[in-house]
Structure 1
Amino acid sequence: MVSIRFPTLAPVSYEHAVFSFSCSLFIAILFILLIRQLLRQRRPKGFPPGPSPIPIIGNILSLATEPHVFLRKQSAVHGPIFSLDLGGISAVVLNGYDAVKECLYHQSEVFADRPSLPLFIKMTKMGGLLNSKYGRGWIEHRKLASNSFRYFGSGQKMFERKISEECMFFVDAMDEHKGKAFNPKHLVTNAVSNITNLIIFGQRFTYDDVQFQHMIQIFSENVELAVSGWAFLYNAFPWIEVIPFGKHQKLFRNAAKVYDFLLEIIERFSQGRVQQVPRHYIDAYLDELEQSRADPGSSYSRENLIYSVGELIIAGTETTTNTLRWAMLYVALYPNIQERLHKEIDTVLGGGRPPSLEDKQNMPYVEAVLHEVLRFCNIVPLGIFRATTQDALVNGYSIPKGTMVISNLYSVNFDEKYWTDPEVFSPQRFLDSKGNFVRREAFLPFSLGRRCCLGEQLARMEMFLFFTTMLQRFHLQFPPGTVPSLTPKLGMTLQPLPYSICAIRRQL
């Protein structure tokens, strides 16, 4: 009898079975997530066309360097309204003055929301002022901030005197360099931030206040990090928060430091508060908070106060600071422009008296130069991202509710339909044949519509008084043998790369 021996199968261990099952489960989940991501990248019916996305990451890599320039170039291919895929997040881009005006002005309320991006949620929980969703919370905080700017700031005649006083602190600090080269960023940032500080805290900070300077430095860093490639990746794939390295982690660490600092400083400046007798924005906010305690729908809270104060400091510092830094750079770069500015300032301010806002109407060239700096240097090239509050129809395209909207203000400033030779720096474009200042329709440095900059009036006051006071006292020039780069440093705002300048005292 022949016996047949079958091979013996090795017993499968429990650990091996669990490992195999885990691998299979992981692959299945990964496959499901991949399919889900690819489905998210499908354009909705009637959605604007756009550049072809890379699977999974979409068009994110295209925004890594000079996103405003890339978006303007794409409008030549896809039209003034086109779409992007930001890793499964659908975005609509508005290019040129006509498209921006149609959406942000004619359909202002429809385009007044903020997108619920993971980064916004992480940083401010969609609360505060700038990043809040369109609704009661935004209305309450916008109204309070606008009233505070009028009551404690630009609406008061004595506030002009406070700005003028800060101008003198500023030029005196410049004078300490005795005409030798220095980097003006620190002084300009401190001087400008102090104007907003007067409204928020009721007082200025000295230029050597180390703690406050550190906070401003962190704010400036976060403005750059907020539109880095890592920030776009985090919005598309929030799970990368577990990755211990990357610029998104630096952003979060900075935000935590700022939060703690603001909590401390708000407590300090709220001491001695008398109810309904506000001394500054913090007091006014706390009054509203106490009055609304019984209202469950109120958006006022200690946390939203912290977010709002931080946002007001950033908004009130970054844009005006960078405008003045660019203005100093271009004035020194073009001696003929500086000579004409000096002549106009000396004629109007005969005898060396300090400038006032009433002098603005008699200084059309000063106004023209400042406006050209705002246009040409594109301080906030992409504005702050918006979202649709409801389904929208624009130029025949259907844009669903909640879609992220990017308004390319850079493309407005360089719109050849409205600007002749937009690539040329020319203050003359804001003057008529008689030398009078002329307002231009396609000039939107402060954006448009419901979400336009609430500090525009204050910013214009600051820019005129700081710029005029500085040029009344100094002649600006670069150190011998040096010419600074005109390439901007990329971020939510475009700022000049660090440069040195000599402020030579003029003989008046």
Structure 2
Amino acid sequence: MVLTGRLAVLLKVSYGQACLYLGSLLIILLSFLLVRQLAKQRRPRGFPPGPTPLPVIGNILSLASEPHVYMKKQSEIHGQIFSLDLGGISTVVLNGYDVVKECLVHQSDLFADRPSLPLFEKMTKMGGLLNAKYGRGWIEHRKLAVNSFRFFGTGQKTFEHKISEECMFFVDAIDEHKGKPFDPKLLVTNAVSNVTNLILFGNRFAYDDHEFQHMIEIFSENVELAASGWAFLYNAFPWIEILPFGKHRKLFHNAAEVYVFLQQIVERFAQGRTRQSPRHYIDAYLDEIEQSAGDPAASFSQENLIFSVGELIIAGTETTTNAIRWAMLYMALYPSVQGRPPALEDRLRMPYVEAVLYEVLRFCNVVPLGIFRATSGDALVRGYSIPRSTLVITNLYSVHFDEKYWSHPEVFSPERFLDGNGNFVRREAFLPFSLGRRHCLGEPLAKMEMFLFFSTLMQRFSLQFPPGVVPSLTPKLGMTLQPLPYAICATRRQQ
């Protein structure tokens, strides 16, 4: 009995000591992580100033709502170039046209990299095209994409006709609503994505193809989630992946589902392929894989093909879709444009249409922060030292609302793109497609699409809101700024 009692006491003491040791280790570990995190938050020598960060999380909470507006306001305090702390990730923000041009044009190579953020490392392994690091892989993929867009798209004389055909599918689908209210989002998204699909797959998808519609909806959701607070938290603290909740989990689930679907359609449209006689981007990419098979440093691979196709679908759909949706929204608020069925050469004879589209892109800021960049080497900007691999955010919203270049920028006014004689004029501080090495390669295609879709729409229909309804002009936040869901009535014009 005595022995049993002593054993119980020893076990009790041992258990207590073990808990004490484990507790002490946990405190030491947490203290180490805290000190390490606080050390990461120290601004490098010569770094631009910025708002005071909170311990551990830095300035992340400030980006929870309208980050582009917050950044512009901070530039009024700290200057056109200032810094933020995104949970230990030192970040430089460029505001206003002058400093954006100085960095992206005059120091284009130094501001052409992509940041190695945990979110994008997990989703694309920094491969593909849009998120590829600045180097051989990006150069190879960029060249192939530019050539494909030219050879299978805008460089073809027949391609304008193909877009015009899609315009007819688009307006015929609108006609089916017979002037009754409908939400144009899905229809516009399908129509716009089909133009990119012609380049990528040599084919379009029917508007009732529910499988493709589902994929496009997932893409759109991920564009929103990738700029959520959870995405910023994941980049700062990737260990939160172990948590059983959080929007980052939905982001990764969506990505996995999309990649499976993309693999299937890539295989489908590669059938019947003839080597060195490409019909579309898929064929051209597969030719590159075969040609570089003996080069261990080549970046072309089946995995990067999937990443590239997904990125090109997103890039070719989101911006143009949301620009057209904003244009429809504003045309229901402002006088519409009339004329005969348009063609591309009509641009010179329809300056107001062009002015409306440019003002929509400026005023609505579809991609307000561009795509995050990183410095490829140590940079010096306006006396500030920016180390290699620093995350760089270009606040394009601040460029389009730069009072130095725009009179009353808060006012929606297409006339700012017209001269005294009513002719269309370009403005220097107009950067919806960004600048420099990483500017949007699909800019010519996007402008062509917007003009033909929008002008065809306005020639055939008069747009109004349902009686007594005026939708909100507040944007839905994400990597792109899109309108909140709205209903609109499209009434046939009298020819």
**1:58-137 counterparts in 2 under 5 A?**
58-137=58-137
**1:401-480 counterparts in 2 under 5 A?**
401-480=388-467
Q: Distance in 2 between matches of 1:478 and 1:417?
A: 35
Q: Distance in 2 between matches of 1:242 and 1:97?
A: 41
> How far apart are residue 15 of structure 1 and its match?
3.6
Question: What letter corresponds to residue 486 of structure 1 in structure 2?
Answer: L
Question: What letter corresponds to residue 33 of structure 2 in structure 1?
Answer: L
SS at match of 1:11: helix
> How far apart are residue 474 of structure 1 and its match?
0.5
> How far apart are residue 22 of structure 1 and its match?
1.7
Aligned residue number for residue 174 of structure 1? 174
Q: Distance in 1 between matches of 2:42 and 2:379?
A: 19
Q: Distance in 2 between matches of 1:308 and 1:21?
A: 51
Q: Distance in 1 between matches of 2:23 and 2:262?
A: 47
Aligned residue number for residue 232 of structure 2? 232
SS at match of 1:162: helix
Tell me how many residue pairs correspond in the alignment.
489
**Gap regions ≥5 residues in structure 1:** 1-7
Aligned residue number for residue 53 of structure 1? 53
Aligned residue number for residue 3 of structure 2? none
Q: Does 1:194 pair with 2:215?
A: no
**1:82-481 counterparts in 2 under 5 A?**
82-335=82-335, 338=336, 341-342=337-338, 346=339, 349=340, 354-481=341-468
Pairing partner for 1:488 from 471, 475, 478: 475
Aligned residue number for residue 11 of structure 1? 10
SS at match of 1:393: strand
Q: Distance in 2 between matches of 1:359 and 1:227?
A: 38
Q: Distance in 2 between matches of 1:11 and 1:307?
A: 60
Q: Write out per-residue CA displacement over residues 20-67 of structure 1, whole angstroms, 9 at most, x where no aligned residue.
A: 222211111111000000000000000000000000000000000000
> How far apart are residue 16 of structure 1 and its match?
3.3
**Gap regions ≥5 residues in structure 2:** 1-6
> How far apart are residue 18 of structure 1 and its match?
2.8
Q: Distance in 2 between matches of 1:475 and 1:458?
A: 26
SS at match of 1:476: strand
Question: What letter corresponds to residue 122 of structure 1 in structure 2?
Answer: K
Q: Distance in 1 between matches of 2:31 and 2:228?
A: 28
Question: What letter corresponds to residue 490 of structure 2 in structure 1?
Answer: A
Q: Distance in 2 between matches of 1:293 and 1:252?
A: 30
Q: Distance in 2 between matches of 1:177 and 1:105?
A: 47
Q: Distance in 1 between matches of 2:284 and 2:222?
A: 27
Q: Write out per-residue CA displacement over residues 437-490 of structure 1, whole angstroms, 9 at most, x where no aligned residue.
A: 010000000000000000000000000000111011001111110000000000
Q: Does 1:498 pair with 2:485?
A: yes
> How far apart are residue 10 of structure 1 and its match?
4.5
Q: Distance in 2 between matches of 1:16 and 1:301?
A: 56
Q: Distance in 2 between matches of 1:499 and 1:258?
A: 27
SS at match of 1:308: helix
> How far apart are residue 233 of structure 1 and its match?
0.2
Question: What letter corresponds to residue 241 of structure 2 in structure 1?
Answer: E
Q: Distance in 1 between matches of 2:382 and 2:449?
A: 39
Q: Distance in 2 between matches of 1:318 and 1:98?
A: 27
Question: What letter corresponds to residue 318 of structure 1 in structure 2?
Answer: E
Q: Distance in 2 between matches of 1:474 and 1:234?
A: 45
Q: Distance in 2 between matches of 1:159 and 1:17?
A: 77
SS at match of 1:82: strand
Question: What letter corresponds to residue 61 of structure 1 in structure 2?
Answer: L
TM-score, structure 1 normalization: 0.95
Query: Which region of structure 1 is more displaced relative to structure 2, 19-28 or 370-379?
Result: 19-28
> How far apart are residue 9 of structure 1 and its match?
12
Aligned residue number for residue 4 of structure 2? none
Question: What letter corresponds to residue 11 of structure 1 in structure 2?
Answer: L
Query: Which region of structure 1 is more displaced relative to structure 2, 417-426 or 258-267?
Result: 258-267
Question: What letter corresponds to residue 459 of structure 2 in structure 1?
Answer: Q
> How far apart are residue 272 of structure 1 and its match?
1.0
> How far apart are residue 17 of structure 1 and its match?
3.0
SS at match of 2:352: helix
Question: What letter corresponds to residue 250 of structure 2 in structure 1?
Answer: K
Question: What letter corresponds to residue 179 of structure 1 in structure 2?
Answer: G
Aligned residue number for residue 5 of structure 1? none
Q: Write out per-residue CA displacement over residues 314-345 of structure 1, whole angstroms, 9 at most, x where no aligned residue.
A: 0000000000000000011113xx1xx21xxx
Q: Distance in 1 between matches of 2:354 and 2:304?
A: 37
Q: Distance in 2 between matches of 1:18 and 1:89?
A: 37
Question: What letter corresponds to residue 269 of structure 2 in structure 1?
Answer: F
Question: What letter corresponds to residue 252 of structure 1 in structure 2?
Answer: F
SS at match of 1:27: helix
Identity of aligned residues (%): 76
Q: Distance in 2 between matches of 1:205 and 1:121?
A: 31
Q: Distance in 1 between matches of 2:18 and 2:348?
A: 80
Question: What letter corresponds to residue 290 of structure 1 in structure 2?
Answer: E
